[in-house]
Chains A and B, each alone.
Chain A
Amino acid sequence: MNTSASLHNTASPRSSHLAIQLTLGSFRLDIDTQWDAQVAVLFGPSGSGKSSVLETLLGLQPSARAHLQLAGELLEDSEKGFRLAPEKRGLGWVPQESTLFPHLSVRQNLSFGKKRAGPQAASIFQQAVEVLEIGSFLDRNVETLSGGERQRVALARALASNPRALLLDEPLAALDRNLRARILPFLLRVRDEFGLPMLYITHDPDEAVLLGETLLVLEEGRVVANGPAREVLWSPAALPLAEALGLENVFEARVAAEGSTSTQVHIKGGQQLTLGDPLPSDSAVTLAIRAEDVLISTVPTETLSARNTLKAKVLRCAPHRGHVHVHLDLGGEELVARLTPAAVSSLELQVGKTVYAIVKAQAIQQIS
């Protein structure tokens, strides 16, 4: 349901622009950011303001000053005194905690947004039920559902209201790791089959890399990085966060040959890595290496147990909280190693110097 007021300010149907100023006690949210992608991931530690951004978007933070344009639609413009009520924004929201209405059956929960869904209500209801495979428990009481079933129903309820965009607030956070892996494919199906613009909030790097085209990194109420997922995880601004998550180095790789106890993969630029886990050959994988797991040698070495010795050039050395991040060029990919200042000076690491990065097979994590 579009209001005429919101139709004026339509740019590209995917372009979004959020400018929000909000003070809640001692916390201050101040962002001004834009993107142009079907799926944007808002990424950051808890307490960084992710939920406040979401609540402002939904129209549930009346004290925020904001200019909100989501997927081409203007929702709010404090300057002009324009503010759509939450029920007029047409957003499908899946909150973190289960918020299925306990007094309604699964079917009644799904039909709750039927009025807004308009003439397509019946077909979109059917599509949501099919994509999320919840047809077998439509007439159950929501209190009897498992955690994974609840989140699928919550997602279906948001979809069945025929929203113009989906806002997902850590929809998998309440689930254990196993269950998460089973629900993720449903999210990917929703993304691909409904084709709706999505804003996905998470502090889980796997979900961020898997789902998002664009990644917005939020820290202490500010957007510190914004761009394609992998570039952002590498940007200097996001490095402290990536470090906390063990994601300083993220590579796309293709499996070249599978052994019984190890796997060879190729990364961009042609270098080869050896992993400790067997993987199906010719599959694409995403790998992460912690900066502290990378050793640097100035001479090629064959006397170490580590399986990976990669020729590299020093790009730059950046001091950071008592240690040094040494950025290496692997001939296409960049690798960050964390060293002590003493090691950097005794190895005489300078920009352009040729060195060898050494990584144990076991230190390479597969994240997707």
Chain B
Amino acid sequence: MVAGEVWSMTWLTLRVAATATLLSLPIAIAMGYFMARKDFPGKSLLQALIALPMVLPPVAVGLGLLYLLSPQGPLAWFWDLLGLRLAFTPAAAVLAASVVGFPLLERSCEQAFAAIPRRFEQVSRTLGRNPWATFFRVVLPLGQRGVLYGSLLAFTRALGEFGATALVAGILPGRTETLALGIYSQVQLGDDTAAFALCGVSFLLSLAALLAAEGWVGREIKGQRL
């Protein structure tokens, strides 16, 4: 394995993880706010369903996604309509990373929003701001640290994603082979040196992301007076 391959693999991993996090973000924020503010029958069930991808074996999640993306699956008509074949593309790797990272992100947003006293939103309304303006001027700024913290956790989870990605995106060198998949295939090929080198890069990336999450944002959250 040459250094250029390590770099392109690292770059792909970062791109996949960042795209996955950014795509999940608006949905997780909307869902987190909804769950933090609404009570309805079946809320616990929905909460469990959201958390499911976090505890299921990632391979099982991958198999489920593969089924949904396949031209023979229940959504075949939808993919035909769009003319898209996502399985075994970088997009599939992004999708897999999004699904496994989403529960972490949603939960963190939900907790951040639930900690904001409703009075702030009510005062904002009486000062002439409609619900949308209130959300963007009050709720989101007050919950931003939780949102950021969740984003970093989801990003870190996406960096190390293996099982679901392997199934739905395959291990295609230069196309879908991220660091985690690269380590596996180098071990399979018997190149322990390369595998350890990739482990080292993974270690540094994950450490940096976790340090950012825990050391900086995490401390801010604990110090926050809400």
Contact = CB atoms under 8 A, between A and B. Distances in A.
Nearest to A112: B127
Interface of A: 1, 58-60, 85-87, 89-93, 95, 97, 99, 101-103, 112-113, 115-116, 143, 157-158, 161
Given A95-B123, A97-B119, A102 B128 contact: no
Contact of A85 (B119, B130, B226): B130
A-B CB proximity, top 10 nearest: A116-B128, A113-B127, A86-B125, A93-B126, A103-B141, A99-B123, A99-B119, A161-B127, A87-B128, A87-B125
A333 to B, nearest CB: 42
Contact of B225 (A90, A116, A143, A161): A143
Nearest to B119: A99
Interface in B137-167: 137-138, 141-142
B130 A58 contact: no
Give the bracket for the number of chain B residues in contact with chain A. 10 to 19
Scoring B120, B225, B226 by chain A CB atoms within 10 A of each residue's CB, the highest score goes to B120
Scoring B122, B128, B142 by chain A CB atoms within 10 A of each residue's CB, the highest score goes to B128
Contacts of A115: 128-129
B124 interface: yes
Contacts of B123: 93, 95, 99, 101
9 contacts: A58-B126, A86-B122, A93-B123, A99-B119, A102-B225, A112-B129, A116-B128, A143-B225, A157-B127
Secondary structure dominating the interface of A:
loop
B120 A101 contact: yes
Interface of B: 117, 119-120, 122-130, 137-138, 141-142, 225-226
Contacts of B225: 102, 143
A183 B125 CA distance: 26
A161 B124 CA distance: 11
Given A102-B225, A103-B142, A91 B126 contact: yes
Contacts of A97: 119
Contacts of A58: 122, 126
A86 B126 contact: yes
Nearest to B138: A101
A87 B138 CA distance: 14
B132 to A, nearest CB: 11
A280 B138 CA distance: 50
Scoring A95, A97, A103 by chain B CB atoms within 10 A of each residue's CB, the highest score goes to A103
A1 B124 CA distance: 16
A188 B117 CA distance: 30
Contacts of A91: 126
B226 A95 contact: no
Given A85-B130, A93-B126, A95-B119, 6 more contacts: A59-B125, A87-B130, A95-B123, A102-B142, A112-B137, A115-B129
Given A102-B226, A103-B142, A143-B225, A112 B119 contact: no
A80 B123 CA distance: 27
Nearest to A88: B128
B124 to A, nearest CB: 7
Nearest to A117: B128
A194 B43 CA distance: 48
Given A87-B129, A99-B119, A143-B225, A112 B124 contact: yes
Given A60-B122, A99-B120, A101-B120, A113 B128 contact: yes
Contacts of A103: 141-142
A258 B200 CA distance: 89
Nearest to B123: A99
B130 to A, nearest CB: 5
Contacts of B130: 85, 87
Contacts of A86: 122, 125-126
Nearest to A93: B126
A89 B126 contact: yes
A102 B137 CA distance: 12
Contacts of A85: 125, 130
